[in-house]
Every structure is written in structure tokens, then in C-alpha cells.
Amino acid sequence: MVKGENGVFFQNAHITILVLRRKTGSDMYCSLSTPNYVLVRHHRWHAVRGKDKKTFYAFTNIRRPEGSYTCLQMHRLLRPNVLTDHANRDGLNNQDYNLREATLSQNGANKSMMKNNKSGHRGVMVEQSR
């Protein structure tokens, strides 16, 4: 397979790796289970940094019925109507084993440590003296 913009970089019976273009022009790679490729192949995907400024996700633009566009993450296309969590915290790994159904609480517990963390432990808040 030939590398191309938003094209298939590698594919076998189990895994498909897509090349995603960033806004800066650099390439990133997104993996998904090959049986799911039929769901994503008609869209043009690009890599976008998440709200935490560390994790990247695969996004595409979807046209709404009224004609406007909205952004859609690949894992939400693969698991519609289900809150999905990336088990290994890699937003570009959309393989079946890495996507799991999660509650908001479970999803929040799988976040990495905040950069303003003072305790050195995830989920621990240091009380400030007044």
C-alpha cells in the first residue's frame, strides 16, 4: 500500500494504519481494526490535539442535514451512542481492544496527571491554606 494524505499506510487482516495530516503539515498515524475500515474509509481524517494538549485524536468533518458541518472523532463513529474510553490513553489507537465502554467517572479516572499537580499522585487534591 502507498502512503498518501489520509491514506492507508499499512493494512492486514487485523490492523489498518492510516496516515493523518496535522494542521502543521506533519503526519501522524492512526490505527484501527481492519473490519472497521469500511466505516471510516469514505471520510477524510486529520489529527487534532485534545483538550488536555497532550493526546491526539482522529477527526473528520461531517455534513449535517441542514448543510452545516460538524467535527466527529473516529472512536465516536466506531462506537455510536456509547461513551468510549481509550484504555491505553492513546487517542489515535482505535483498535477494538483499546476502545471500551465507560461511564463519565471511569473515563475521568483514566486521565493522565494534570500538569498543575502538586501531590505527585493522580486524583489527589492538595488543600490550600488560607
Is the per-residue pLDDT at 9 higher than 60?
Answer: yes
Please name the residues in contact with 113: beta carbons below 8 A apart, sequence gap of 6 or more. 121, 122
97, amino acid identity? Y
The string of pLDDT tens digits covering residues 97-111 is: 999 998 877 777 777
| Grid cell in block for residue 22 | 496535522
Q: What is the mean pLDDT of residues 30-51?
A: 94
Contact 37, 31 (CB under 8 A): no
- Is the Cα dihedral 88, 94, 99, 103 positive or negative? positive
